[in-house]
Structure 1
């Protein structure tokens, strides 16, 4: 009996199991939902923001050409001076003596020229008389042979030759006197030029940013061998300022002279416009940047060297470029860029060519058409030919 009842229970269990398997429904494939964005024209701009410090257009320590004591100094820190304005005057007695000596040398040379000119006149007179006497004796001797002794003719000829030699010597002395005067005048001009260096003038229009010397200070000549020479003042040109920008190597090709930039002064919030004036045209190997300079006019001196500014370089502008979000393209920066396009619910993997990139979007040069739906975000698990449910991305919904 026990064996028979066990068989009945086993049969009932098998029947129940088979009936349960027949009642379970078959699983169905789930269509994944993917976020998409529309390829559409957009205005793209590539702006590079760099920080820089205002510098004077030019700045120099004004040195003295000659050594001397400061007799007077006419400026102080903050003084605005024009070009060629007198900054200081030096007391240099030895240069004054050199000028007086050189002037006396010119006067002596003038006197020597007058003396030489008088000697030339005397020599010309003697030469004329000697020539006339020799001609007369020669004419008489030819007309009346034997009347004039031969010795007198020879003496007259010798006097003529002597007078001619004296005239040549006098002319030579005159030329030497004239050369001496030219040399004396050159020395006088040199002494005067050196004396003018006793008056120290501003090389350009600017403002005095530092004063080194005071009245009575001993100033050494500011030449290359005088490494310890003290400047008189430091002068800076602030009516025009420089901004030196370290442009990264990947943006160097976009830099052009005359390029417009927006300048925002960090401390004041003031916004200005400037232009790229010059660039080094060489990348520094240590920083992989190129120095690019922007000149900023400062006629009212409202900007001070040392202030920081943010400079917005407009490298490129595409007013109506076909573009998609950055995360719609795989392989940006590599040789192969791809995008997943949804057409009639089916994913198509296409190769695209990109152009200008901004912070959010990228220009599409080829591979996509206007209105194409491209999958954005992560593309993990998506394959070519897969059926998906395309839904507008969150930022696309907000934008609409």
Structure 2
């Protein structure tokens, strides 16, 4: 008898366990997108036009305002190094001494030849003057007088040649005392005392660089320039009359250099090997923080977009193809829309295509919803900090993340 009741009891036990599981599931948290159109809370911002100063970040390389190579201009042995390596030097300061003895001897020889030529010239001139009186009395022939005048002229020419030789010897003797051509900081000495330097090979002795102000050489693609011109021509961007030529330097660690520079020129030709245009900026460097050869990034003003549409950066989604999209709220439901992302503006992106003023964009919570799901929008708390606006309504913009450096015309 007990064996006949055992299956019935087991069946009742299974039903009790199944009922308990269903009860627990019913009492648990509802799914994010449960039945009956349950709305998922999301944080949103409303897109509003704002004035933004559009900039672009470009790679640059620092170079000295003056960079002089000190080279040997005479051949000889270096007898003295008259500076401290790595120190600041003045223009005309004595740096190296090349053995002057051979050049002093050549100079003395040239001086003696000049004296001899001057003596010969005096004798020839006296003879010519004497013949000038005698030829009138027919005491000498006309031919003798002409020869005397020619000899005097040749003697004068010899004097001029001797003077030039003496001047050349003085110059070579002066080159044995090597001086700094500019004021600046001198690097290491490339030769030592006792080294033989050559004028024919123009032996490099040292480098002197002046970088109280520095150049920053910048490159920019022709595609970026064309896009900028198109944006300005269409009226999307307007040139800033006071800030269009100013540049800011970003150091290697990302910090912004505290001295603003000015753009000197933009290249008029394109490098055929890279498709780049060269630009050059001049930046004050009073503390000599910028060193020649340093890699930096330069933030260059493009213009002002008076109706910039900005959204927080975390609202932008990117797929594996690099395409960008936003989740917007339309009629209480979520909708994914493709967008074109322009420069970044602080913590926001400038959206150049895909959204309009007044659109409600989901910033937080879009990971929990699918397109078409009903949502419950609530204001995003981080909007005041990251929306990209300031009390004056101006927001500096910078190109980044591989996006174009200027906003194209809005469709």
Q: Normalized against structure 1, the TM-score is what?
A: 0.62
Q: Please state if 1:84 is matched with 2:87.
A: no
Aligned to 2:213: 240
| Cα deviations by residue, 1:195-220 (Å, 9 ceiling, x for unpaired) | 111110101111222023344x1332
Query: Hey, what's the Cα distance between the residues in 1 that align with 2:309 and 2:273?
Result: 36
* SS at 1:271 equivalent: coil
Are 2:245 and 2:300, in contact at CA under 8 Å, matched by a contact in 1? no
Query: Hey, what's the Cα distance between the residues in 1 that align with 2:284 and 2:266?
Result: 18
Q: CA offset at residue 298 of structure 1?
A: 3.0
Pairwise CA RMSD of aligned residues?
A: 4.8
Q: Please state if 1:220 is matched with 2:219.
A: no
For 1:192-271, what aligned pairs fall within 5 Å after superposition?
A: 192-215=170-193, 217-224=194-201, 229=203, 231-247=204-220, 250-252=223-225, 258-264=245-251, 266=253, 271=258
Aligned to 1:124: 132
Query: Hey, what's the Cα distance between the residues in 2 that align with 1:347 and 1:381?
Result: 5
Aligned to 1:169: 147
Are 2:244 and 2:302, in contact at CA under 8 Å, matched by a contact in 1? no
Query: Hey, what's the Cα distance between the residues in 2 that align with 1:193 and 1:329?
Result: 71
Aligned to 2:260: 273
For 1:362-381, what aligned pairs fall within 5 Å after superposition?
A: 362=350, 368=356, 370-371=357-358
Structure 1 gaps of 5+ residues are: 1-27, 131-158, 332-336, 383-387
CA distance 1:285–1:164, change in 2 (3 Å): closer
CA distance 1:286–1:306, change in 2 (3 Å): same
Aligned to 2:291: 305
Q: Please state if 1:323 is matched with 2:309.
A: yes
Q: Please state if 1:295 is matched with 2:272.
A: no
CA distance 1:311–1:65, change in 2 (3 Å): same
Q: CA offset at residue 77 of structure 1?
A: 1.2
Aligned to 2:156: 178
| Cα deviations by residue, 1:83-124 (Å, 9 ceiling, x for unpaired) | 111112211332222211211121111112111111112211
Aligned to 1:45: 53
CA distance 1:320–1:363, change in 2 (3 Å): farther
Are 1:263 and 1:309, in contact at CA under 8 Å, matched by a contact in 2? no
More helix per residue? 1
Are 1:357 and 1:363, in contact at CA under 8 Å, matched by a contact in 2? no
Q: CA offset at residue 389 of structure 1?
A: 7.1
Query: Hey, what's the Cα distance between the residues in 1 that align with 2:77 and 2:39?
Result: 91
Structure 2 gaps of 5+ residues are: 1-34, 230-242, 319-323, 385-411
Q: Normalized against structure 2, the TM-score is what?
A: 0.60
Aligned to 2:106: 98
* SS at 2:259 equivalent: strand
Query: Hey, what's the Cα distance between the residues in 2 that align with 1:267 and 1:351?
Result: 31
